[in-house]
């Protein structure tokens, strides 16, 4: 696998899980657990989880290192849910949390070189 493709696939894996979790929160706010299971968005959530599995399978089949892949995916998952939380749900982050996010991104960049 070309070096540039592996980080892109890992980023997409993290984003797919982040969007799935965003959708879970969105439908969870509508009502109870059984109502959420019947929501049409649940199909998209399941598809996004399977996409993440396929992406990671691809990376690991091409010699991805589990420690680095897991950390990189977690950083991009975190970025996705933080951004969606800020934009869609109006959530707030503190300055300390913002610094933590910045450090995580710097760490992800350092891990991918």
Min mean pLDDT across 4-8, 18-22, 100-104 is at 4-8
The total of other beta-carbon atoms located within 10 Å of residue 74's CB is: 15
Q: For 104-113, what is each residue's pLDDT tens digit? A: 889 888 887 7
Q: For 77-96, what is each residue's pLDDT tens digit? A: 999 999 999 999 999 999 99
pLDDT at 42: 93
Q: Helix, strand or coil for residue 55?
A: helix
Positive or negative, the CA dihedral 50, 52, 55, 61 is: negative
Residue 1 has pLDDT above 70, yes or no: no
Give the pLDDT band (50/70/90) at residue 2: low
Predicted TM-score (pTM) of this structure: 0.85
């Amino acid at each position: 696998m070309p070096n540039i493709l592996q980080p892109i696939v890992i980023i997409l894996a993290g984003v797919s899980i982040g969007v799935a979790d965003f959708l879970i929160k969105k439908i969870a706010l509508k009502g109870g657990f059984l109502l959420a299971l019947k929501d049409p968005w649940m199909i998209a959530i399941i598809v996004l989880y399977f996409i993440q599995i396929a992406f990671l399978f691809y990376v690991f089949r091409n010699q991805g290192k589990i420690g680095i892949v897991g950390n990189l995916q977690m950083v991009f998952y975190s970025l996705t849910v933080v951004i969606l939380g800020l934009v869609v749900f109006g959530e707030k982050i503190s300055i300390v949390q913002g610094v933590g996010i910045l450090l995580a991104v710097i760490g992800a960049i350092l891990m991918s070189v």
